Structures are given as structure tokens and as C-alpha cells.
């Protein structure tokens, strides 16, 4: 065979010319200036009014410096103003009708089974051949958000992007130069966070399973506590791994052994990250990691274990781009929470952790993010850097009543000591802004934003009860003592509308819902009737409207994915929110109730009452008034004139 001739010198010259042409096109073409730097810091839940108040008091000098040198304004949030919806608006430049995320929960109309809105785990497809299951696909997890992420536009134009913990971005898009998934990333069990609590006294807990975690009996024998960590299932096998706790006979201190790992822990202390291996077979295992908190050794043994997080070096799911970037970050700045919402809110809600213990853990999670940010910022060159901070949002949910003496659950003895907790987190955020201003380099555009604001959640409105009392929903068993939710007690043959999710109301449409009874031709009229009725509802305790806005999904600017969502979206009055019971598909016995939960602050209300914040270090080329506009404004800094790049009629 004749060997093909090559001409190295000529080819090298042509390659260099092509590379130069490509660089010129990417750097000075439609994408704008090469070397442009934009840093976007996302502080989840930072409230406009509270930020403005603390600035006026002189407590946020770096935010004030930004406002003086650049811009400061409120930033309109999404409708509804729920985190996965809001961040999806920002990512895609579209509303829910375009990106398809309407709430934390959607429902499959063919089965009426609720499911998490942001990601979907698919089982592997198999083919049975002579009794053997032959895999046809690997399965995996799919990000359910639709539309193009704004950073993809920059990458297509040769601009590097680093996207750290963007919410509603699990699995990560795979299109950024560097990416770590954020809110929506599950723990090893596939949940948003399932803790374990080991105790020698089960009496305080009505059962071994509680919301958001599991309680296991564990006691000391001859100075040793032996127990198991419970992992995911592999086929029909539930994976476990043993651990031992050696209790000092005199001092409140123990030695923890998990596999080859050992830790010395004092009472009241959290460990660092402890690697954990779950053996699947002699040839394979599943890697994870956890933090252990020793609550007590006497008179009862009590140990709290965080949800099992993916190990960054060997995660079961893809959590970064490139896939080894999570491991690179861990090597450079230490192991970190891969779980999307790491604060132990369930531990506090269920009474397993005290407020002090919750805040100590939340501080660990917040400091981890701040420490890692310094490495990421130092490694950032040209292009776009987005970095997310979620600590403020999660702590505000749990501690808001400490700054609201009028909250129905407020107890001065218990709550007054924590009155400054949320303000202190704003001050810490101000320190991060100051560090950024001092280290970001000349010519950098700094954008500070939040996805929504915050308000006290004092009253709950039970939407499904209102629908029942007004003849739109019927139940199968009116004497059921505790409705389990998931719409199981709904009598579909007599139900015309039902609530699901924090802000969603659906019409039971014939041919769409599994057992629908409302003709499509009657849907709009029924929606208008229900909307009018909801806007007239007065809370008998406050004497004020419970609902100030009701939107139709037909009102969305984009309609590509509108059919997924609720027919109506409820905008609750400030300080009122849809109840957890109705959100899960239950039909509570009452229409209103006081919110007496630790989860005392929220934002799932009329979006006009809870705007976020927007700061920039210099005026933006294209001003933004809402989250939906902000991506286009960021792209304009790089010379991109239009976003989203999508036809509304698609």
C-alpha cells in the first residue's frame, strides 16, 4: 500500500494560521472583547428590604461601596418565587412555560403520581435473553430543565465559564469549562438529604422513621457501641457498612472506627469528612462520605450522622464538568458537601438537633463554601465565574421567627438569643463581597444577585380544603384521621380541581388526567371561576386577603413546556404560604392554620412581595429588572446582543 506523503512545515504553518483566525473570531468577533472578566455571586434568599435596612445602619460597608460606585436595585423574581423556578428563569432567560420547571413537585397526569420537578432518574433498559438481563442503556439521571443555559452561548463563542453550584443544574450541563452541580443534587440515597440518628433511648421518637431521617437504636456494651451505616440498595440487597464507637469510661469522648478511618470526637463536636465504603461485591464498592456529631455519651448515647454525600473523588452520579473537577476541587481546598442543600434543616424540624446544634452545622457548611470560593477565585482567569452561596437561604427558613416577635411560634426565651443570627449572615456575605472587590482585578464586572427575598411565614392556607369546601374537590373517606397525601384520598369521579406543589392548582381535565372529568372546552371558564373565588378569600384571623395574585399558565411569555405545569399558580399574600399538606396532595380538615414549625420564614408568596437584590460594580450595558432579564445582561457584557436564542413559538 502506498504511504501518504505529509508536509510537516506547510501543515504546521496552516494550523497556526487557522488557530490565530479561530482565536480572533472567538475573541474579537460577535462575542466581544477577549479578556473580559465577569464574576457573578449568587446569594440565595438575600432580601432587598433587609439588605437596604442593614446598609443604612452601616453594617454592610462593602455592599454600600458597590452601590456607590455601581448600581443597587431590587431584582424581580419568578412566579412562583420558588428556588428551582427562579434559578431556571435566570439560567435560560425564559419563564416556566419555556424551561418547564413550575414548582418543587410536578405530577404525571397518566398516573397522578407526584415527582420531583428538576431531575428524573431512569432505570437501565434491558433485554431478556435466555434468562439473562442484557443492558441496552446505562440509565442515569436526566436534568428536566429545558432551554439553553446562558453560559453555553459564551462557550460557543470561545469564552471560558466556571459555574459553581448553580441551582437546578443537576446533572450539570456538561457545557461549561468547569462546573459543580448545586441545589437539586441528591445524597447517596437519592433524596435531598436523609440523616441518621443513633440513640440508646428511642422513647422520644414515635417510630424509627421520622421526616427527613431515620432513628436507629444503639447502645454501649462493655464500652463499645456497634452499629451500621445504611446505604442505598443494589438490586435486592440493602448496602450497609459497620462502624464502632469506643466510649471513654470517664471523659465525654469517643473513638470512632469506620473501615480504616478513625476519629476522636468529644461531645458537642462534629468530625471532618469521614470516607465510607459500601461493599457491593468482592470486586466493587460504592464510595461516600459523612460527618458524625457526638451529642451525648451519658446517660444516653446519641450520635447524629449527616446524609451520605457523594465522594468527590469517586461520585456515583456525575456532579462536575469535567468529571474529575470535583476531585480537583477537593484536593485543592478539602472535601466538601456535594449534597445540594447541606444545612441540616430536617434535623432541626424533627427535634433531633437543637437550634444551637443546627447553627453549628450550618456554620460548617457556610465556611466550607467561603473557603473553597477563595481557591476558585484565585484560579479564575478570563471569562465568566458564577459562584453560589446557599447558607443564608436555609438558615433564614429556620431562624426567621427569631427576628419576628409577632410570629405565632415565637417564644422569647427560646428565640430571642438568636435575633441577630440572620443579620450576622448578611455581614458575612458583606465580607465575601469585600474579599472579591480586593482580589478580582481591574476591569472586572462584579454582579451580586439573589433569586428572591424573604418574609415571615405566619399563616398557612390549605388549598385542597378550600377546594373541597367550595365543591371543586371530593374525598374518598371524609373520616380519614390522617391523610397520607399523594392525592390518594381524592375521589376523582367528583373532583374538578386539586392542589399539588406549593403554588400549583390543576384542573382535572378529561383526556389529560388519568380520571379527568372536566371537558377541555370548560377548562378556561372553570379556571376563571376558581380564580375569582380565591381572590375573595379573607383570613379570619388577620382580616386580610390570603391570596393577592392568581396566574394562569397561559399567561407565561413562553409556551413550549406550559402543558407540564399547573393550570393556575397561586400568589399568596405576604406572611401567608400554601401548606405543606396541600403541597403533598393531602386534603387537610381546616382551611387556615398558624405556622408553628421551625421553618418559619419563606418566599413562596406573591412574587411582587419578595424581590431579590442586584448590585453591580459598574453600570451594565443592558440593565436588568428581573431574573429573567439578568442572563441577557451578563451576556451583553461579552458583546452578545440577544438571549434567549429560542423561538417562542417552538
Looking at 70-209, list the stretches that DSSP marks H as alpha helix, in order from N- to C-terminal side: 83-92, 96-99, 150-156
pLDDT digits (tens, 9 = 90+) for 622-643: 999 999 999 999 999 999 999 9
Q: Please say if the pLDDT value at position 425 is more than 90.
A: yes
Is a pLDDT exceeding 90 seen at residue 21?
no
Note the pLDDT of residue 34: 44
Ranking 171-185, 197-211, 442-456, 598-612 by mean pLDDT, the lowest is: 197-211
Mean pLDDT score, 178-184: 96
Where among 546, 567, 594 does a domain terminate?
Answer: 594
| For the chain, percent of residues with pLDDT exceeding 70 | 90
Average pLDDT of span 151-172:
97
Is residue 74 situated within a structural domain?
no
Strands 445-449 and 612-616, bridge-based pairing:
antiparallel
Polymer length in residues for the chain: 650
pLDDT tens digits along 205-225: 655 567 899 999 999 999 999
In this structure, what C-alpha cell is assigned to residue 218? 444503639
Q: Report the candidate in 637, 44, 30 with the shortest Cα–Cα distance to residue 342.
A: 44
Query: What is the reported pLDDT for 647?
Result: 59
Instruction: Mark out the alpha helices in 104-240 (DSSP H runs).
Output: 150-156
| 25 part of a folded domain | no
* Range with the poorest average pLDDT among 61-75, 192-206, 252-266, 510-524: 192-206
Average pLDDT in the 123-138 region? 47
Rg (CA), the chain: 26
Local confidence band at 582 (pLDDT 50, 70, 90 cut-offs): very high
Q: What is the pLDDT of residue 494?
A: 98
Answer whether 71's CB lies under 8 Å from 609's CB: no
- At residue 650 the predicted structure's pLDDT band, cuts being 50, 70 and 90, is very low
Q: Is 277 helix (H, G, I), strand (E, B) or coil?
A: strand
Residue 248's pLDDT is: 97
Instruction: Determine the Cα angle at 491 with ends 489 and 494, to 5°.
Output: 155
Cell of 289: 462520605
pLDDT interval class at 282 (50, 70, 90): confident
- Residue 329: strand, helix, or coil: helix
Mean pLDDT computed over 129-135 = 46
Q: Which of 496, 591, 506 is nearest to 547 (CA)?
A: 591
Neighbours of 478 (CB within 10 A): 11
**Residue 136 pLDDT > 70:** no
Q: Which of 638, 609, 165 is nearest to 384 (CA)?
A: 638
Q: In Å, how far from its chain's centre is CA 110? A: 27
Phi first, then psi, for residue 601 (nearest 5°) are -120, 150
How many whole angstroms separate alpha carbon 183 and alpha carbon 118? 10
How many structural domains comprise the chain? 2
For residue 283, what pLDDT is reported?
A: 87
What's the pTM value of the predicted model, to 2 decimals?
A: 0.91
Give residue 209's pLDDT.
60
pLDDT for res 35: 64
- 266 lies in a domain? yes
Average pLDDT along the chain: 91
Does any domain span residue 510? yes
* Integer Cα distance of 631 and 620 in angstroms: 12
In sequence order, what are the beta bridge partners of 382?
Answer: none
Q: Among candidates 248, 364, 240, 231, which has minimal Cα distance to 301?
A: 248
257, 283, 310 - which closes a domain:
310
Give the angle subtended at the CA of 13 by the CAs of 10 and 19, to the nearest 5°.
Answer: 140
CA distance 371 to 480: 51
From CA 391, how far away is CA 12, in angstroms rounded? 52
User: In the prediction, which pLDDT does 648 show?
Assistant: 46
Residue pair 245/303 in contact by the 8 Å Cβ criterion? yes
Rounded CA-CA distance 386/39 in Å is 6
Between these two residues, 144 and 23, which has the higher pLDDT value? 144
Query: What average pLDDT does this structure show over 511-530?
Result: 98
Distances in Å between the Cα of 580 and the Cα atoms of 113, 188, 485, 593 are 17, 25, 10, 11
Contacts of 424 (CB under 8 A, 6+ apart): none
24 pLDDT above the threshold of 80:
no
Please, which pLDDT band fits residue 2 given cuts at 50, 70 and 90?
Answer: very low
Per-residue pLDDT tens over the stretch 295-338:
999 999 999 999 999 999 999 999 999 999 999 999 999 999 99
C-alpha cell at 348: 432541626
Q: What percent of the chain has pLDDT over 90?
A: 86
Give CA torsion, residues 611, 527, 495, 540, to 10 deg: 50
Q: pLDDT per residue over 26-61, tens digit each?
A: 433 343 444 699 999 999 999 999 999 999 999 999
- Does residue 449 fall inside a structural domain? no
State the Cα–Cα distance between residues 341 and 337, nearest whole angstrom.
9
How far apart are alpha carbons 261 and 521 in whole angstroms? 65
CATH code for the domain of 573: 3.30.1360
Of 279, 310, 341, the residue at which a domain comes to its end is 310
6: pLDDT confidence band, cut at 50, 70 and 90?
very low
- Predicted pLDDT at 233: 87
Q: In terms of Cα–Cα distance, which of 542, 465, 520 is closest to 498?
A: 465
In a domain, 16, yes or no: no
Region for 93 from its dihedrals, namely left if φ exceeds 0, alpha if ψ lies in -120 to 50, beta otherwise: left
Q: How far apart are CA 150 and CA 643, in angstroms?
A: 8
Q: Using the predicted structure, report yes or no on whether residue 344 has a pLDDT greater than 50.
A: yes
Instruction: Let me know: does 607 contact 77? Beta carbons within 8 Å.
Output: yes
Query: Is the pLDDT score of 551 beyond 90?
Result: yes
Phi and psi at 359, nearest 5°, equal -65, -35
**Model confidence band, residue 22 (pLDDT cutoffs 50, 70, 90):** very low
- 37-43 and 445-449 strand pairing: parallel
What is the pLDDT at residue 122?
62
Q: Comparing C-alpha atoms, which of 276, 279, 250 is closest to residue 263?
A: 276
Host domain of residue 528: 459-594
Q: What is the pLDDT of residue 1?
A: 32
CA distance 627 to 611: 10
Q: Of all helices (H) and strands (E), which one includes residue 257?
A: strand 253-258
Is 388 part of a structural domain of the chain? no
> So what's the pLDDT on residue 17?
36
pLDDT digits (tens, 9 = 90+) for 346-389: 999 999 999 999 999 999 999 999 999 999 999 999 999 999 99
| 38 and 637 Cβ atoms separated by less than 8 Å | yes
Say if residue 538 is exposed, middle or buried (CB neighbours under 10 Å; 0-12, 13-18, 19+).
exposed
Q: Does any domain span residue 265?
A: yes
User: Residue 123's pLDDT is what?
Assistant: 59
Amino acid at each position: 500500500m502506498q504511504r501518504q506523503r505529509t508536509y510537516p512545515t506547510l501543515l504546521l504553518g496552516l494550523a497556526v494560521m487557522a488557530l490565530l483566525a479561530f482565536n480572533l473570531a472567538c475573541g474579537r468577533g460577535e462575542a466581544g472583547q477577549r479578556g473580559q472578566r465577569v464574576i457573578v455571586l449568587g446569594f440565595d434568599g438575600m432580601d432587598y428590604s433587609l439588605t437596604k435596612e442593614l446598609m443604612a445602619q452601616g453594617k454592610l460597608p462593602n455592599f454600600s461601596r458597590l452601590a456607590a460606585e455601581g448600581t443597587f436595585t431590587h431584582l424581580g423574581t419568578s412566579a412562583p418565587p420558588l428556588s428551582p423556578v427562579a434559578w431556571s428563569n435566570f439560567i435560560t432567560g425564559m419563564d416556566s412555560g419555556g424551561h418547564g420547571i413550575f414548582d418543587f413537585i410536578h405530577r404525571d397526569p397518566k398516573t397522578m403520581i407526584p415527582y420531583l420537578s428538576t431531575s428524573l432518574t431512569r432505570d437501565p433498559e434491558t433485554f431478556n435473553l435466555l434468562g439473562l438481563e442484557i443492558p441496552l442503556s446505562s440509565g442515569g439521571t436526566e436534568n428536566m430543565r429545558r432551554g439553553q443555559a446562558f453560559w453555553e452561548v459564551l462557550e460557543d463563542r470561545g469564552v471560558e465559564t466556571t459555574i459553581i453550584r448553580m441551582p437546578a443544574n443537576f446533572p450539570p450541563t456538561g457545557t461549561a469549562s468547569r462546573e459543580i452541580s448545586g441545589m437539586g443534587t441528591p445524597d447517596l440515597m437519592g433524596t435531598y438529604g436523609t440523616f441518621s440518628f443513633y440513640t440508646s433511648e428511642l422513647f422520644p421518637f414515635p417510630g424509627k422513621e421520622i421526616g427527613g431521617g431515620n432513628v436507629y437504636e444503639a447502645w454501649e456494651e462493655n464500652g463499645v457501641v456497634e452499629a451500621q451505616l445504611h446505604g442505598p440498595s443494589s438490586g435486592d440487597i440493602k448496602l450497609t457498612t459497620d462502624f464502632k464507637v469506643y466510649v471513654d469510661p470517664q471523659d465525654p469522648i469517643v473513638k470512632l472506627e469506620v473501615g480504616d478511618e478513625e476519629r476522636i470526637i468529644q461531645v458537642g463536636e462534629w468530625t471532618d469528612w469521614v470516607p465510607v465504603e459500601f461493599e457491593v461485591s468482592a470486586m466493587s464498592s460504592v464510595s461516600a462520605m459523612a460527618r458524625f456529631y457526638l451529642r451525648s455519651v451519658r446517660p444516653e448515647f446519641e450520635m447524629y450522622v449527616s446524609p451520605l454525600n457523594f465522594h468527590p473523588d469517586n461520585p456515583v452520579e456525575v456532579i462536575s464538568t469535567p468529571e474529575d473537577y470535583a476531585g480537583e476541587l477537593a484536593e485543592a481546598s478539602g472535601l466538601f458537601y456535594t449534597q445540594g442543600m447541606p444545612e441540616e434543616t430536617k434535623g432541626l424540624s424533627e427535634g433531633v438537633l437543637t437550634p444551637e446544634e443546627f447553627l453549628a452545622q450550618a456554620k460548617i457548611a457556610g465556611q466550607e463554601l467561603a473557603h473553597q470560593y477563595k481557591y476558585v477565585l484565585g484560579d479564575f482567569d478570563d471569562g465568566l465565574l458564577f459562584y453560589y452561596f446557599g447558607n443564608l437561604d436555609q438558615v433564614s427558613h429556620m431562624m426567621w421567627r427569631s427576628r419576628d416577635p409577632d410570629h405565632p411560634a415565637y417564644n422569647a426565651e427560646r428565640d430571642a438569643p438568636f435575633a441577630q443570627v440572620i443579620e450576622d449572615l448578611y455581614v458575612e456575605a458583606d465580607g465575601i463581597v469585600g474579599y472579591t472587590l480586593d482580589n478580582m482585578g481591574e476591569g472586572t464586572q462584579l454582579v451580586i444577585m439573589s433569586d428572591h427575598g424573604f418574609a415571615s411565614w405566619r399563616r398557612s392556607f390549605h388549598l385542597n380544603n378550600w377546594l373541597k369546601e367550595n365543591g371543586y374537590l371530593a374525598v374518598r373517606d371524609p373520616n380519614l384521621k390522617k391523610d397520607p397525601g399523594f392525592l390518594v384520598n381524592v375521589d376523582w369521579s367528583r373532583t374538578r380541581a386539586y392542589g399539588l406543589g406549593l403554588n400549583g392548582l390543576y384542573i382535572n381535565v378529561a383526556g389529560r388526567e388519568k380520571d379527568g372529568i372536566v371537558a377541555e372546552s370548560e377548562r378556561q371558564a372553570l379556571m376563571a371561576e376558581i380564580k375569582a373565588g380565591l381572590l375573595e378569600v379573607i383570613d379570619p384571623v388577620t382580616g386580610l386577603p390570603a391570596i393577592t395574585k392568581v396566574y394562569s399558565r397561559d399567561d407565561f411569555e413562553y409556551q413550549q413546556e406550559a402543558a407540564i405545569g399547573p393550570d393556575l399558580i397561586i400568589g399568596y399574600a405576604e406572611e401567608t404560604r400554601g401548606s405543606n399538606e396541600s403541597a403533598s396532595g393531602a386534603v387537610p380538615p381546616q382551611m387556615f392554620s398558624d405556622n408553628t414549625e421551625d421553618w418559619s420564614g419563606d418566599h413562596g408568596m406573591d412574587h411582587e412581595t419578595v424581590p431579590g437584590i442586584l448590585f453591580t460594580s459598574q453600570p451594565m450595558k443592558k440593565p436588568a429588572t428581573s431574573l429573567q432579564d439578568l442572563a441577557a445582561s451578563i451576556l451583553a457584557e461579552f458583546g452578545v446582543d440577544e438571549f434567549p436564542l429560542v423561538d417562542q413559538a417552538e
